[in-house]
Amino acid sequence: MNCIYKYSIALVVSLLVALSAAVAGSPAGLHFAVTTNDLGNISEDGGVVTSTFVAVNNATEEVIVSDIYTSCGCTKASYKRGAIAPGEEFHLGIAFDPMNRPGRIDKYIYVHTSAHSEPIVLRITGYVEPRERTAEELYPFDMGGGLRLESNYHTFGYVEEGRSVECGIGYINTAESPIELSIVSVAHSGRLDYSASMTIGPHATGNILLRYTNSAECPLYGIAEDRLQLVVDGTTCNYEVATHAIMVDNFDMVDDISAPRLAISKNIIKFGEVNDHNEVIERSVELRNEGATPLVIRAIEVESAAVEVRVGDIMSIAPGQMRVVTFVLRGALIEDWDNPLTSRALVITNDPLRPMQTIRLTALPL
């Protein structure tokens, strides 16, 4: 009997502990039995889908919903304003608009109440089945003459020495008859090759092929920019096609442990106020090599014609050493005196971790 008595006491204590933990995990206030609603598979063009979350006020006092916000503008909340009495249900309606949002649904709703210090987090999930896109959506750039492009700009990123990087800009001929396409280079770096079908059939699709090459025999370091003019049936198109690449070293054989590492003393240069068109202002930064092998400054390019960079003739920095680079702002070359000047300086080095680093340049013409 003594063993049975001890067992009963232990059981009661365990139940009390469990009950206490349950109460601690469910603070008084609005209690949502279900915090995630799965919308399942819905059609992108099927219209707004609604879902309802139901809560009960399990407190002994009234609860007021002070605010509800969602993680996306595609999700709207609706509910009855006013105090929620003890034991009363609270219905929260959620409307989700799937248009132009194909793919997985994972949206959050945050409910702020007078009874909770932190918001109650609700969630809707599901999947939006994509609708068929129109030619105007897939190829938004109307070049004229029936030709449409998916983009008129492409950034290639880094192109290493001895390498080529290729991409294609998609097109479609929306006309009912064939068109003749030709391409004219209006600004060229000498590193871009391009090709496209010269005759494009009605409603045919394809790609304007673009390829940047950084030859090992004559490598380029820095920014390569090109602009192409498209001509359809002898008529110049509405837009140019612009491309951009950053030419850098080949890092295949670089040892990461002993590689050079560029550290810049500051990434923002403030020239301050420019009070005179003839004013000349100088600012300097330090470029330090924190690596174990020489750091080579391949190029420093400034976007604004009003800023000149002075780096000297020696472009190599030994491990642990630094170089001072000076930026010179000339007021006479500032084009727009009605607005602040904001530009960038791009520092290209043989640092394999960050071959290009950016320094922001600002000035305030008065």
Q: What is the pLDDT of residues 59-79, one digit of tens each?
A: 999 999 999 999 999 999 999
Question: In sequence order, which residues have a C-beta less than 8 Å from that of residue 24 and are 6 or more positions away?
Answer: none
Q: Report residue 346 as tokens.
A: 């791009």
Q: Do 135-248 and 262-365 have matching folds? A: yes
Residue 5: pLDDT over 90: no
Average the pLDDT over 252-256 and give the result. Answer: 85
Fold of the domain spanning 262-365: Immunoglobulin-like (2.60.40)
pLDDT given at position 28: 78
Residue 24: pLDDT over 70: no
CATH architecture of the domain formed by 135-248: Sandwich (2.60)
Average the pLDDT over 181-195 and give the result. Answer: 94
Could you state, in order of their start, the residue ranges of all structural domains in the chain? 31-129, 135-248, 262-365
- pLDDT band, very low/low/confident/very high, at 217 (cuts 50, 70, 90): very high
DSSP for residue 332: G
- Rounded Cα–Cα distance for residues 258 and 349 (Å): 15
- Rounded Cα–Cα distance for residues 55 and 277 (Å): 67
Residue type, 322: M
Average the pLDDT over 286-291 and give the result. Answer: 97
- Rounded Cα–Cα distance for residues 320 and 323 (Å): 11
Task: Report the CATH number of the 31-129 domain.
Answer: 2.60.40.10
Q: What DSSP assignment string belongs to 140-184?
A: -EEEETTEEES-SEEEEEEEETTEEEEEEEEEEE-SSS-EEEEEE
Question: In sequence order, which residues have a C-beta less than 8 Å from that of residue 130 and are 6 or more positions away?
Answer: 44, 102, 103
- Percent of the chain exceeding pLDDT 70 equals 93
- Rounded Cα–Cα distance for residues 159 and 51 (Å): 49
Starting at the edge strand that comes first in sequence, how are the strands of the sheet with 356-365 ordered? 268-274, 356-365, 341-349, 295-302, 316-317
- Characterize 39-69 residue by residue with b for buried, 16 or more Cβ atoms within 10 angstroms of its Cβ, and e for exposed: beebebeeeebebebebbbebeeebebeebe
Please tell me the total number of residues recorded for the chain in this structure. Answer: 366
